[in-house]
Structure 1
Amino acid sequence: MASDDKSKHPGLSGYDPDNLQPWSVQVITSVTVLGVVAVALRLLSRRLKQQPIWWDDGMIIFSACWNLAVVGFIFAMYSTGMGIHADKLDPEDIVMMAKWLVVAEILYAWNLGWTKLSLLLMYYRIFHFPYFKKMMWVVGAFVWAWVICITFLFIFICVPVQKLWYPQLPGHCIHQVGTWISNAAATILTDLVILLMPIPEIWKLKSRKAEKVGLTLAFGLGFFVVFASAYRTSVLFTYSSIDPTYTLAATAGWTAIELSAGIVSACLPTFLPIVLYCARRFGIKRRVALQADGDAPLTFGSSGNPFKFGNNRSHRVESNTLSEENLSGGRNSDSVYGFPNHTDSDEIVYRAAEMGSDTLASLESKLRPDMKGCGHAVRSCRAKGTVDKKNNIPLHGIMVQKVLKQSASKG
């Protein structure tokens, strides 16, 4: 029970010196709501593009619900006096807060694991390179090995466990703040690795530098979770076992910020459909062309001379209809993430037909197996019905064969 007398313990610099409970409630509530809103916007993006809900979406929903459980235990600590100086509370309240803290620490570690797993599943959904998937398995295995390890450290930080809230009991404890800092270091390291993983793949895309910069920024926005983790680490040093109830409040507040920042970070790359929808509502339209001028690669979001084929029609697509192979059910043309399918066989055949047989030969290895030699129909031909029924050859496949014959005759 708090008394009206002034505490003999000093307050933290930059915070209310007497009571951190109002600050704790405001911060924890606001960032938790922000995390829930981010997940809701992610689901709205899926609905706008009629995208199926996959494991990465389910995992971030689960992580958001788990975060609510963590926040619930933080408020349980609040109810026992967290944010008030220890000399203003009953000893039994301090003991109860220490018990709630152990549970909250364990749930916190697992919450970070669920959020990181959601990000890795999102990468698995949109990147289809064997070496990249192996790297995801390695990172994921490290994350969960550490989560299990830190769980045992949090539980058995003191032996016997009761010594954590009854210091006078015989036994021994490892340094509590040191355990927190080691967990924070591992968290920051894995955050950096996971956030940097897609950057090299983005810069391998056959698209313009401006688009690569835009995609890098979209994924790079998640780096604010690294800032939150780093600042929380600095706050850990303000904890004092002499005044645990008051000094723990700042750490608890930044813990809630870190967890919500991770959830928002995992959702940010999926917001493209909402951005495009809002742009259309404001009358902003952006069209992109598939180009073939000189040696320039096929790009999305480019300007200039459109690629022309056959009867000089420009082949244009909306910028929000980029390809994504969805592991939950095949290929979907409406990409949530905005990654162009830069090795699509349709575009390769069009480019080869435009530039001649030498180019076709050099690009042969990039074609889908059913497109080798242009002997089968592709998506664009099936959609338009432009297939020579007599020879069962797609019309633009015939055109490519004519290019080859013309090149051979010239040679």
Structure 2
Amino acid sequence: MADDTKSIIGLIGFYDNLHETQPVSNYPETIIALAVSFLAVTWACVIFRIYTRFFIMYSPGWDDVFVVLVLLSGTVGSICECIATRYGMGQHFILISAQDRIMYLKFFYVANVTYCCSTAFVKLSLLFQYLRIFKTGRMRVVCIVVMITTALWGLAYSFMAIVPCFPIQKYWTLTLPGTCYAFGSLVAPAFYATYASSAAINMTLDIIVLCIPIPIYFAENTPFKSKIGLIGLFAMGVLINFISIWRVKTIVEHRAATFPTFDPTWYGPISIELATLEVNFASICASIPVFWPVLTARLDKVFVTREIKVERIHRFETVDEDLDGLGGDGKYGDGVELQQSHRTRSNTSTGGGGGGGGPHSRATSESSLNRSRSGGGGPYYGGGSGNSNMHYRDEYVAAQVDPLSSVGKVELEISAQPVSRKVSREMSRKNSRAQMLKKPSRHQDG
């Protein structure tokens, strides 16, 4: 068993672990496949989110800025992870050449910096997103407090990852003179404590950020669809927390790749892959609530095969005989509605004594209808009282009154148009002629 007081250099080859079976997570194919596939999904989700915020909702914010930072830092980390497979990642550290060790530690240095930054950026993005919901109240204060804590934690550990040694080159050149601490410490307990504390705080903050929106779910005014969406987000959040807990377990199991011997290329890949998955899942979880409602609405329009528009229009009957003596085919309305107005129905019922009908009731109804046609400038222009002018906004009726008008290009506000003397005279003569033709039939019926 390794002595905790020994240095990192003394732990290299301290225990013979060459007989251990290579785990699946150490295969280069596994490392590259996981990194590339999840990075592609993350890029797609973040692009959809940014497009929705900038070009559909027109409401970009600080949460979008931090999501883009997560995407950029995570992309750099994933690229370094894939390239590191060429320099011994997944193999035993003691079997790698000295030049490959230096190259591996260089790429691991960059990957570790991007991971520390990404975990802080993604939490800040979610917290800024919560501030859009909690405008006031206690939950907004909680978000601000957690945001400040996360920013300080991310700043501290990111700085220790960026400057682990003085000079920085000593991090990948172990024999170079200088001083190292935290992530670059050459003392095994300090080295292990740095990685374990970073992972533990990260896991705790993940749980806190996940629990902040829980009150929204139990609020009485939260719609059912919003609750379903929150359940989906909680499920993804639980998965992210499961990954962070799993990563803590792998770090503790081998004491940050220092137990039973210092072998970072052999014991480290599983922790690096879980870190990549955690960052990518967190970015996806932060992006889906923004673009998913818009995406589903667009898909509904794409899959609509037929659209039927039903309209109900009241028109006036037309006649084929020349009633006004002006010639022509007589294709214009005689002023009789196909459906009786409220005023005509009330006159008919009162004139007929409640349902008797008879010639007197028909005469009363028709005289009322004639008065509505001729009073106040005529029905075609909305003059007179009652609800008659509500039917005359129809383009068909307007075309019969004035065929030379540009029907369909200008909204017809008939009640506001002046009455033409010529049209009024023609309509009055036409109505009188129609009454004379219809009177004999009414007397015969009587």
Give the TM-score normalised by structure 1.
0.59
The 1:73/1:207 distance shift into structure 2, 3 A limit, reads closer
Render the CA deviation track for 1:113-149: whole Å, top value 9, x for unaligned.
1111111111112321243222222111111111122
Please tell me whether the aligned partners of residues 38 and 277 of structure 2 are also in contact (alpha carbons under 8 angstroms). yes
Please tell me whether the aligned partners of residues 113 and 147 of structure 1 are also in contact (alpha carbons under 8 angstroms). yes
Q: What is residue 428 of structure 2 aligned with on the other side?
A: none
The 1:41/1:100 distance shift into structure 2, 3 A limit, reads same
The answer on 1:175 being equivalent to 2:190 is yes
Aligned equivalents of 2:133, 2:88: Cα separation in 1: 46
- Any residues of structure 2 matched to 1:39-188 within 5 Å, and which? 39-46=46-53, 49-154=56-161, 162=170, 166=174, 173=187, 174-188=189-203
Q: What is residue 266 of structure 2 aligned with on the other side?
A: 246
Please tell me whether the aligned partners of residues 73 and 100 of structure 1 are also in contact (alpha carbons under 8 angstroms). yes
Which residue type is aligned with residue 261 of structure 1?
F
Aligned equivalents of 2:48, 2:72: Cα separation in 1: 15
Aligned equivalents of 1:124, 1:102: Cα separation in 2: 34
Please tell me whether the aligned partners of residues 39 and 61 of structure 1 are also in contact (alpha carbons under 8 angstroms). yes
Among candidates 207, 217, 227, match of residue 213 of structure 1: 227
Q: What is residue 211 of structure 2 aligned with on the other side?
A: 196
Please tell me whether the aligned partners of residues 120 and 151 of structure 2 are also in contact (alpha carbons under 8 angstroms). yes
> What is the percent sequence identity of the aligned residues?
19
Render the CA deviation track for 1:219-265: whole Å, top value 9, x for unaligned.
31331211221222223234345332222222222221111111111
Q: What is residue 247 of structure 2 aligned with on the other side?
A: 232
SS of residue in 2 equivalent to 1:166: coil
Please tell me whether the aligned partners of residues 54 and 60 of structure 2 are also in contact (alpha carbons under 8 angstroms). no
Aligned equivalents of 1:164, 1:63: Cα separation in 2: 25
Please tell me whether the aligned partners of residues 27 and 90 of structure 2 are also in contact (alpha carbons under 8 angstroms). yes
Please tell me whether the aligned partners of residues 69 and 118 of structure 2 are also in contact (alpha carbons under 8 angstroms). no
Among candidates 11, 18, 26, match of residue 9 of structure 1: 18
Q: What is residue 371 of structure 1 aligned with on the other side?
A: none
Unaligned runs of 5+ in 1: 1-6, 285-411
Structure 1 or 2, whichever has the larger Rg, is: 2
Which residue type is aligned with residue 195 of structure 1?
L
The 1:99/1:43 distance shift into structure 2, 3 A limit, reads closer
Please tell me whether the aligned partners of residues 21 and 83 of structure 1 are also in contact (alpha carbons under 8 angstroms). yes
Q: Which of 107-116 and 157-166 deviates more?
A: 157-166
Aligned equivalents of 2:250, 2:273: Cα separation in 1: 10
Render the CA deviation track for 1:67-108: whole Å, top value 9, x for unaligned.
112223323433322122224320221133223323321221
The 1:39/1:11 distance shift into structure 2, 3 A limit, reads farther
Give the TM-score normalised by structure 2.
0.55
Unaligned runs of 5+ in 2: 1-15, 180-185, 306-446
Among candidates 293, 297, 315, match of residue 272 of structure 1: 293
Please tell me whether the aligned partners of residues 165 and 178 of structure 2 are also in contact (alpha carbons under 8 angstroms). no
Please tell me whether the aligned partners of residues 150 and 183 of structure 1 are also in contact (alpha carbons under 8 angstroms). yes
SS of residue in 2 equivalent to 1:175: helix
Render the CA deviation track for 1:327-384: whole Å, top value 9, x for unaligned.
xxxxxxxxxxxxxxxxxxxxxxxxxxxxxxxxxxxxxxxxxxxxxxxxxxxxxxxxxx
Among candidates 262, 279, 282, match of residue 262 of structure 1: 282
SS of residue in 2 equivalent to 1:266: helix
Aligned equivalents of 2:208, 2:272: Cα separation in 1: 25
Aligned equivalents of 1:279, 1:196: Cα separation in 2: 32
Aligned equivalents of 1:192, 1:259: Cα separation in 2: 15
Aligned pairs, how many? 275
Q: What is residue 404 of structure 1 aligned with on the other side?
A: none
The 1:135/1:68 distance shift into structure 2, 3 A limit, reads same
Aligned equivalents of 1:280, 1:214: Cα separation in 2: 22
Among candidates 24, 28, 45, match of residue 38 of structure 1: 45
Please tell me whether the aligned partners of residues 203 and 244 of structure 2 are also in contact (alpha carbons under 8 angstroms). yes
The 1:8/1:195 distance shift into structure 2, 3 A limit, reads closer
Please tell me whether the aligned partners of residues 116 and 161 of structure 2 are also in contact (alpha carbons under 8 angstroms). no
Which residue type is aligned with residue 180 of structure 1?
Y
CA RMSD of superposed structures (Å): 3.1
Among candidates 21, 26, 30, match of residue 28 of structure 2: 21
The 1:194/1:83 distance shift into structure 2, 3 A limit, reads same
Aligned equivalents of 2:82, 2:195: Cα separation in 1: 20
Aligned equivalents of 1:145, 1:31: Cα separation in 2: 28
